[in-house]
A and B are shown apart, each in its own frame.
Chain A
Amino acid sequence: MIKLSQRLLGPVTLACLAATFVLGLWVTPEDRTQKNLVRLLYVHPPIAWVALYVSFGTATIASCLYLWRRTRSMTMDRIAYCAMEVSVVFIILTLITGSIWGRPTWGVWWAWDARLTSTAILGVFALAYLALRRANDDPTLRARRSAVFAILTAVNVPIIHFSVVWWKTLHQGASVLTSTGQLNVHGSMLLAMLLGFVGFTLLFFWLLRERYRLEVKRDARSIATLDEALALRRREGV
């Protein structure tokens, strides 16, 4: 069962994304005020959801599990690292799609909007995480430091969010639900958006899995060199 779902992850992801694109580009109607720009609705919110919640959430949980003694393992460290790396890609995509949407709506590529600003700050956090990993090449030290940094980042997310929101906001409100809780979009649009959410979430896990496998291979190579390193070191003597 697990094997089957693993094998299906890639194809299902592709199918969902393909369906989103078909629905989003051809089936769904144009918006009265936003015209074709509304089609970003099927891409931008799902990507942002993955960037800000799914990937950061995964990295944070994996980091906590690493720091907790009973679940401490390099697996958790690798998951956190790979999730953070994938999140960089999604954050950049979020900023790009947001910018494309913002340019005609706001008239500028960059506006001092609350969500845009806090997403950018979060993006710098993700890059800083990768920089921190590069600066430490001892695996244990690197794992500990990056886990602490990931947790500090998670603690910062609400602080940054509220500070920037209170600072200034001109972003539109929540996309799907109105403040009274009624649905805003209908039919094919809702379907396209839902498929988008599912598709991009699956894409995240697919990328995470592939990246994780790559990391395991890289570590395996360094374990092979452990024996070599011992032999090499012993040869120095005698």
Chain B
Amino acid sequence: MIAVARLVAAKDLRIEARSRVLLWQVLPFGVIALLLSGLALGPAQAGNSSAGPGLFYLVTLFVTLLMINRSQSLENAPGTRASVATLGLDPAGVFLGKALALTVELWVTGIVLLAGSVLVLHTALIGTVQALPSILVTLATLAVAGTLYGALTQGGDGPATLLPVLTLPAFAPLLIAGERSFSAALHGGALWEWWVIVLVALVAYTAVGILLYGVLEES
């Protein structure tokens, strides 16, 4: 399982490094979404709002949706699915591999967007750095959940439009936990509840994925 996971993750990351879809399509979208968030706050609020953490996560969620679809579409190029299916890879390994690759990609995107929010939304730098561990774990959870939901939407009618309605309710608690712990890092406050939420979700999605990804691939 671990060997398959490494193989699949390396393959996904290599494809990403070569096609640069993340760099040229997803990141610019994230940056403009961040700028638009600032504009939406209005001139008085754009630079000194407490909404920074929330907006960062909101933008990250939308970016995540794009990246989930990208991650799944790699497997769905004409004919690829059939060829790869006949390799008989361990589905749990494929799941972990894809989730791992997506995690790395989300981390890269997340750090760029964090830098962006420090720059344009004036989120305090020290607090942002302190929030980094919780942000990285939340992004990993988004990636693991997203890999599962992404596999659910492939091949049916309108996968790109179906994905948001499936994932966003599941992302809601992660958004809450992420935003709260980010805000707590900026302004001080209790933290452990949010770690519980994110870690429980991470463990739950990983377990369900390992157990059930095979059911989804069998199609």
**Minimal Cβ-Cβ distance residue in B for A160:** B173
Q: Nearest chain A CB to B141's CB is how many angstroms away?
A: 10
Task: Determine whether the beta carbon of A159 is less than 8 Å from that of B162.
Answer: no
Contact A159-B152, Cβ < 8 Å, known A127-B165, A149-B166: no
Cα distance A163–B194 in the bound complex, in angstroms: 8
B169-207 contact mask (Cβ, 8 Å, vs A): 1 or 0: 110110011001000000000000110110011001100
A109-137 contact mask (Cβ, 8 Å, vs B): 1 or 0: 00000000000011011011001101110
Chain A residues positioned under 8 Å from B177 (CB to CB): 163
Chain A residues positioned under 8 Å from B40 (CB to CB): none
Q: Nearest chain A CB to B115's CB is how many angstroms away?
A: 27
Chain B residues positioned under 8 Å from A152 (CB to CB): 148-149, 170, 205, 208
Asked whether B77 is an interface residue with its Cβ less than 8 Å from the other chain, the reply is no
Residue of A128, A136, A163 most packed against chain B (CB within 10 A): A163
Cα distance A125–B164 in the bound complex, in angstroms: 11
Contact A156-B166, Cβ < 8 Å, known A145-B216, A149-B152: no
Residues in A124-182 with C-beta less than 8 Å from chain B: 124-125, 127-128, 131-132, 134-136, 138, 141, 144-145, 147-149, 151-153, 155-156, 159-160, 162-164, 166-167
Q: Nearest chain A CB to B122's CB is how many angstroms away?
A: 25
B145-156 contact mask (Cβ, 8 Å, vs A): 1 or 0: 000110011011
Asked whether A67 is an interface residue with its Cβ less than 8 Å from the other chain, the reply is yes
**Minimal Cβ-Cβ distance residue in A for B152:** A145
Task: Determine whether the beta carbon of B204 is less than 8 Å from that of A159.
Answer: yes
Q: Is the interface of A mostly helix, strand, loop or mixed?
A: helix
Task: Determine whether the beta carbon of A159 is less than 8 Å from that of B200.
Answer: yes
Task: Determine whether the beta carbon of A128 is less than 8 Å from that of B215.
Answer: no
Chain B residues within 8 Å of chain A by Cβ, number: 34
Chain A residues positioned under 8 Å from B176 (CB to CB): 163-164, 167
Task: Determine whether the beta carbon of B168 is less than 8 Å from that of A144.
Answer: no
How many CB-defined contacts (below 8 Å) exist between A and B?
A: 90
Cα distance A109–B194 in the bound complex, in angstroms: 29
Cα distance A160–B192 in the bound complex, in angstroms: 16
Chain B residues positioned under 8 Å from A162 (CB to CB): 173, 193, 196-197
Asked whether B88 is an interface residue with its Cβ less than 8 Å from the other chain, the reply is no
Asked whether B158 is an interface residue with its Cβ less than 8 Å from the other chain, the reply is yes
Q: Nearest chain B CB to A177's CB is how many angstroms away?
A: 25
Task: Determine whether the beta carbon of A124 is less than 8 Å from that of B165.
Answer: yes
Task: Determine whether the beta carbon of B172 is less than 8 Å from that of A160.
Answer: yes
Contact A167-B180, Cβ < 8 Å, known A131-B165, A155-B204, A159-B201: yes
Task: Determine whether the beta carbon of B169 is less than 8 Å from that of A121.
Answer: yes
Task: Determine whether the beta carbon of A124 is less than 8 Å from that of B168.
Answer: yes
Cα distance A141–B216 in the bound complex, in angstroms: 8
Asked whether B23 is an interface residue with its Cβ less than 8 Å from the other chain, the reply is no
Residue of B156, B177, B208, B219 most packed against chain A (CB within 10 A): B156
Chain A residues positioned under 8 Å from B216 (CB to CB): 144-145, 148
Task: Determine whether the beta carbon of A135 is less than 8 Å from that of B156.
Answer: yes
Residue of A125, A131, A144, A159 most packed against chain B (CB within 10 A): A159
Q: Nearest chain B CB to A236's CB is how many angstroms away?
A: 24
Chain B residues positioned under 8 Å from A122 (CB to CB): 169
Chain B residues positioned under 8 Å from A147 (CB to CB): 215
Q: List 24 A-B contacts (CB under 8 A).
A: A67-B215, A125-B169, A125-B170, A128-B166, A128-B169, A131-B166, A132-B152, A132-B156, A132-B166, A135-B156, A136-B155, A138-B219, A141-B155, A144-B215, A144-B216, A145-B152, A148-B152, A152-B148, A152-B205, A159-B197, A159-B200, A163-B176, A164-B176, A166-B180
Given A121-B172, A163-B177, output 10 extra A-B contacts at Cβ < 8 Å. A132-B156, A132-B162, A144-B215, A148-B212, A160-B172, A160-B173, A163-B176, A166-B193, A166-B194, A167-B180
Pairs A-B, 7 closest by C-beta atoms: A163-B173, A135-B156, A135-B157, A136-B156, A124-B169, A128-B165, A163-B176
